[in-house]
């Protein structure tokens, strides 16, 4: 039974590569272009792409696409810098789209 006590993980929906942990969810209230997304305090086994400035609903942010390190699928993005004071808490955090991650080990 000890195996069932491990952390609840999320994996890439294509290759099941473990990319984040349920305990690291900061917010489930994010909206991505194709549906809901979760904000995570960190992610693992991902590759962060080049930075770019994007105008989002909540203002100007510097973001970078986040790719699965195994299959290269884009899973979401990382907030590198937020320019609005109220959005600063997102800096260094990851948004992963809900339909691109699957529950592993739950």
**Alpha carbon distance 9, 44 (integer Å):** 11
Nearer to Zn ion, 60 or 71 (CB): 71
Query: Counting contacts by CB under 5 A, is residue 18 touching Zn ion?
Result: no
By rule CB under 5 A, what count of residues binds Zn ion?
A: 8
Applying CB under 5 A, among 14, 18, 22, 98 the residue interacting with Zn ion is 14
Residue position matching structure tokens 């080990």: 105
Here the tokens at position 100 are 């691109």
Applying CB under 5 A, among 23, 54, 58, 71 the residue interacting with Zn ion is 71
Sheet strands side by side (includes 101-104): 18-21, 9-12, 101-104
* 70 contacts 15 by C-beta, under 8 angstroms: yes
Query: Counting contacts by CB under 5 A, is residue 94 touching Zn ion?
Result: no
Query: Counting contacts by CB under 5 A, is residue 101 touching Zn ion?
Result: no
Nearer to Zn ion, 17 or 94 (CB): 17
* 43 contacts 96 by C-beta, under 8 angstroms: yes
Residues at the interface with Zn ion (CB under 5 A): 12, 14-15, 17, 68, 70-71, 73
């Amino acid at each position: 039974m000890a195996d069932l006590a491990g952390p609840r993980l999320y994996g890439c929906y294509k290759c099941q590569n473990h990319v984040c942990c349920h305990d690291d969810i900061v917010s489930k209230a994010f909206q991505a272009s194709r549906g809901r997304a979760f904000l995570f305090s960190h992610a693992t086994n991902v590759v962060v792409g080049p930075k770019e400035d994007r105008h989002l609903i909540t203002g100007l942010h510097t973001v970078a696409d986040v790719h699965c390190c195994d299959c290269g699928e884009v899973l979401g993005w990382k907030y590198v810098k937020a320019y609005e004071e109220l959005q600063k808490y997102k800096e260094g955090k990851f948004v992963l789209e809900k339909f691109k991650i699957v529950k592993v080990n739950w």
